[in-house]
């Protein structure tokens, strides 16, 4: 097994991950959206299974070239809400800070697929200063969310320097990092990286993981190093057709996350990113799946099912709803009980 990240259709075919008759389509997709499959992820793919849920998340397919009506290049309005390069400011108390736009892998359903993958998107020192100055000048901000791209792709010394700068801003109470690295490239979670994340200001880490098979022994060891350093760990999962749109698959994932000290935070309904319609279940399907988990799974293993409203209005829970018009509430078995409100 090669240790190199695979980035072209030819490399995916040579590695035995894609049949050669899919090379041409994969090449066309790679010309449009960035492709990268790390050695750790390649090792999880079963090339003999045409419906492999890991392959479906990471290997390019011709369906990505089909744009559905309603698909948008900037599904949740990042650009409109960006006052300074690298900052997205939607809510009163928190902002996103995107120090770079590269990731260890490129998910085929990524909502930022039109912007990620560009090494030129890394903020220059001056741009990063301007982004930090924006945060420092606004005392109403309480939280900075580092995302991108994947912030854990930064060298530990640069990450440390950024966290130190944010820690020095008195009104910033929490720093949150969203990352695919512990799953997609667990060897990057070195002692130096873990040390860079230990700060006086609370640093919360939200790991993006969509299937229990992504929690390989190496990924679990990476999570153990992070949890062992005292970092609170959260997860976010995207509900994806053909990957995890099944209550049993999600049950296994959320149980595995809790076992590994990760609290499931959000289950995202997929965004309207271009060429991703084949990944999107309906909201009704999503609600039925989430409903099936209630009662079957500990409360600490239940994320909130959310939709990021297209255009940038924000994330909202989308059910299921257990209150009914007839003044009853429904229990986890489906029985209804009157509740005078
Ligand atoms: C998702 C998002 C957040 C974080 O939302 P939470 O509900 O706090 O997880 C903040 N700002 C923007 C612009 C976002 O897209």
Q: What residues does each domain of the chain span? A: 1-65, 66-338
Is the separation of the CB atoms in 323 and 311 below 8 Å?
no
Ligand 1 atom closest to the CA of 206, numbered from 1: 9
Say which of 106, 271, 291, 305 is annotated catalytic. 271
Whether residue 146 has its Cβ less than 6 Å from ligand 1: no
As a whole number of angstroms, the distance between CA 64 and CA 69 comes to 14
**Cα separations in angstroms, 246 against 15, 53, 56, 332:** 30, 12, 15, 18
Strand pairing report for 262-268 and 304-309? parallel
Both tokens of 188, joined, read 């990057």
Do 310 and 281 contact (CB within 8 A), yes or no?
Answer: no
Q: Could you give phi then psi for residue 190, rounded to 5 degrees?
A: -85, 170
315 lines ligand 1 (CB under 6 A): yes
CATH number corresponding to 66-338: 3.20.20.70
Is 49 one of the catalytic residues? no
Task: Specify the pLDDT at position 1.
Answer: 43
Give the pLDDT of the chain (341 residues) as one tens digit per residue. 447 999 999 999 999 999 999 999 999 999 999 999 999 999 999 999 999 999 999 999 999 999 999 999 999 999 999 999 999 999 999 999 999 999 999 999 999 999 999 999 999 999 999 999 999 999 999 999 999 899 999 999 999 999 999 999 999 999 999 999 999 999 999 999 999 999 999 999 999 999 999 999 999 999 999 999 999 999 999 999 999 999 999 999 999 999 999 999 999 999 999 999 999 999 999 999 999 999 899 999 999 999 999 999 999 999 999 999 999 999 999 999 999 98
Q: Confirm whether 91 is a catalytic residue.
A: yes
Helix ranges (DSSP H) in 172-282: 181-184, 191-197, 217-228, 247-259
- The ligand 1 atom at the shortest distance from the C-alpha of residue 95 is 11
- How far apart, in whole angstroms, are the C-alpha atoms of residue 257 and residue 298? 12
Q: How far apart are CA 328 and CA 316, in angstroms?
A: 23
pTM for this predicted structure: 0.97
Alpha carbons 169 and 138: distance in angstroms, whole number: 10
The label of the residue with tokens 């899919």 reads 22
Ligand 1 centroid to residue 155 C-alpha, Å:
25
| The token pair that represents 19 in the structure block | 């049949």
Helix H or strand E segment including 127: helix 125-136
C-alpha 8: how far from its chain's center? 23
* Cβ of residue 89 lying under 6 Å from some atom of ligand 1: no
Q: Is 6 helix (H, G, I), strand (E, B) or coil?
A: strand
Sequence-distant (≥ 6) Cβ neighbours of residue 39 within 8 angstroms: 1, 2, 3, 4, 5
The CA distance from 208 to 214, in Å, is 10
Residue 341 pLDDT: 86
C-alpha–C-alpha distance, residues 315 and 306, integer Å: 6
């Amino acid at each position: 097994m090669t240790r190199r990240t695979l980035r072209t259709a030819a490399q995916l075919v040579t590695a035995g991950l894609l049949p050669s008759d899919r090379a041409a389509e994969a090449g066309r997709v790679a010309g449009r959206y960035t492709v990268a499959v790390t050695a750790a992820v390649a090792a999880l793919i079963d090339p003999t299974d045409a419906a492999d849920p890991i392959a479906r998340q990471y290997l390019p397919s011709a369906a990505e070239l089909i744009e559905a009506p309603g698909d948008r290049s900037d599904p949740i309005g990042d650009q409109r809400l960006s006052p300074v390069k690298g900052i997205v400011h939607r809510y009163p108390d928190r902002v996103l800070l995107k120090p770079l736009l590269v990731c260890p892998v490129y998910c085929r359903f990524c909502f930022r697929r039109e912007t990620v993958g560009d090494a030129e998107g890394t903020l220059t020192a001056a741009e990063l200063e301007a982004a930090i100055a924006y945060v420092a000048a606004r005392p109403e901000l309480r939280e900075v969310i580092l995302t991108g791209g994947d912030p854990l792709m930064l060298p530990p010394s640069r990450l440390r320097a950024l966290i130190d700068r944010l820690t020095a801003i008195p009104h910033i109470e929490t720093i949150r990092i969203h990352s695919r690295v512990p799953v997609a490239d667990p060897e990057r979670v070195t002692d130096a990286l873990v040390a860079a994340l230990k700060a006086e200001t609370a640093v919360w880490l939200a790991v993006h993981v969509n299937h229990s098979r992504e929690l390989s022994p190496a990924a679990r060891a990476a999570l153990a190093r992070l949890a062992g350093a005292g970092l609170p760990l959260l997860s976010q999962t995207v509900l994806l057709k053909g990957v995890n749109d099944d209550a049993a698959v999600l049950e296994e994932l959320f149980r595995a996350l809790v076992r590994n000290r990760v609290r499931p935070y959000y289950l995202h309904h997929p965004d309207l990113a271009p060429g991703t319609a084949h990944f999107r279940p309906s909201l009704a399907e999503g609600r039925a799946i989430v409903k099936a988990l209630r009662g079957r799974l500990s409360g600490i293993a239940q994320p909130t099912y959310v939709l990021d409203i297209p255009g940038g209005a924000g994330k909202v829970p989308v059910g299921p709803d257990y209150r009914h018009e007839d003044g009853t509430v429904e229990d986890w078995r489906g029985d209804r009980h009157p509740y005078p409100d």
